[in-house]
Structure 1
Amino acid sequence: MKKIEDRKEEIAVSFSNGNFETTFPYLSESIVWHIVGENTFKGKPEVVAHCKQTAEYFKMVQTEFITDDVMVTDSKIVVRGSAEFFRNGKQLNHILACDVYEFNNKKLESIHSYCIPIKKRDKMKETNRT
């Protein structure tokens, strides 16, 4: 396993894009994940359980994650982007998101996720516009 100092940005972007499992070794036992306005998960077992539940949902839909911007400091990574979820060409959700990751020298300590739902659209119609 690479040192966390060399992987902070990779860990944050992976988590923001729904690739949770690769980040599990870097989570602090006392991690707190605040999904602002929705829920707070405290401790690695709760965070991992929610990640696994979310990953199961991702398997049932087509996902499109876009990372628009990544900002890096010594102890924080901010990932701004969007996620769209489709089934049978119909958009289920479109979320604009900003995730703030706080690291100590050894582990990921906290995540603050700000998720804003955007009006749904029909991917099939958009594809047929060209």
Structure 2
Amino acid sequence: MDVIVDTKIEKIARAFSSHRFELALPELADDIVWTRVGDAPLIGRKAVKKAIERTAADLAHVTTEFQRFRTVVGEEAVVVDSLARYTDAKGDVSIVASCDIFDFDGEERITEIVSYTVELPS
């Protein structure tokens, strides 16, 4: 079996979807659009940066365990499918299934993200 080396776009997508936003932030296109299905889209680097900073702050005291984390990579797109268990400081648990679809431009910058998330019974 051949060993497959992660491409740059896969590394960026995996960083974003695993909440390592500091690695993905420099790779956001200025005109990025992030659609979290069910919410209004966030348009532009500034709006997306603000949202991920808020998410990072919310997760600062939460333990995240990925029970599933896989990627599918195309030429200019990456899909990340995950199942995560979040445990807060009080011990409350949330289990979330998510799928993030990333589109990249020719310079390997994220131009669009579509995120589907569902909280499951814990």
Shared fold per TM-score greater than 0.5: yes
- 1:84 Cα deviation from its structure 2 partner: 1.9
Compute the TM-score of the two structures, normalised by the length of structure 2: 0.87
Q: Within 1, Cα distance between the matches of 2:69 and 2:55?
A: 22
3-state DSSP of counterpart to 2:59: helix
Residue in 2 that maps onto 1:3: none
Could you tell me which runs of 5 or more consecutive residues in structure 2 were left unpaired when the two chains were aligned.
1-6
For 1:46, the equivalent position in structure 2 comes to: 47
More helix by share: 1
Aligned length: 114
Q: CA deviation at 1:61?
A: 1.6
- Contact residue 83 and residue 94 of structure 1 kept, 8 A: yes
Secondary structure at 2:41 match in 1? strand
Percent of pairs with identical residues: 29
The corresponding residue for 1:10 is: 11
For structure 1, the residue ranges without an aligned partner over 5 or more in a row are: 1-5, 121-130
Q: SS of the residue aligned with 1:59? A: coil
> Of the two, which has the highest radius of gyration?
1
Deviation of 1:104 after TM superposition, in Å, equals 0.8
Q: For the residues of structure 1 that align with 2:55 and 2:70, how far apart are their CA atoms?
A: 23
Moved more, 59-68 or 31-40: 59-68
What TM-score do the two structures reach when normalised by structure 1? 0.82
